[in-house]
Structures are given as C-alpha cells and as structure tokens.
Amino acid sequence: MAALLIALVLLLSLASASPTFHTLIHADAGDAHHHCIVTEFTHGNVQLTGSAVIASVALLFVAIVFLSDSFVLPLADYRFSASRAPPV
C-alpha cells in the first residue's frame, strides 16, 4: 500500500511538472476550466482530511492485530543475567 501511494505521488508530481505528460493522460488538460487531481496537486489544494487520518489509523490497527500472532515478544529479558558478572 505504501509503494502504491508513493507511486501515485510521484506520478502526480511528474504530471504537474510536465504539461506534455498531463496532456498524454487526457486531452482536455490545456482547457482553462479544466480541473482534475493533477491541477489540484499543482496548485497545492490536496490536503490530508480527517477521514484519511481515521482510515490510516484503522489500517494500522488491523495490521497490528493480524501481525500480533506472528510477532511474539520473549517472556524473559536475556540482556541481564544475575549469574554472570565480570571477572574479579
């Protein structure tokens, strides 16, 4: 999902930087009253809304729930053992 979103942002950046590429996506890109996601991205009108934040948190929660069975923490802390000490 992250790779898909990164690819989408890069594609939108490329289309907003290159009018030729934007015209390849759809023919009416040069129209004065043309509005699409590329023009909105170009003008900086794309914002993270509250519903996107809620969806991101819900997706993270679901991922943690599904990964919790395969991700098991150790029952004991093995970084410190009372029976071991430096030589005297």
Boundaries of domain holding 29: 2-67
42-69 pLDDT tens trace:
777 776 666 677 777 888 887 777 776 6
Q: For residue 17, is it within any domain?
A: yes
Q: Would you state the pLDDT for residue 72?
A: 65
Residue 79 in any domain: the answer is no
For residue 7, being part of any structural domain is answered with: yes
Q: How many domains does the chain have?
A: 1
Which tens digit of pLDDT belongs to each residue from 37-47?
787 777 777 76
> Who has greater pLDDT, 19 or 76?
19
What is the SS3 assignment for 19? helix
Whether 75 maps to a domain, the answer reads no
Structure tokens at 82: 């009372």
* Residue 57 located in a structural domain: yes
Q: Which of 43, 34, 42 is nearest to 18 (CA)?
A: 42
Q: Give the separation between CA 45 and CA 12, rounded to whole angstroms.
A: 13
d(C-alpha 40, C-alpha 59), whole Å = 26
Dist. CA 75–CA 59, nearest whole Å: 28
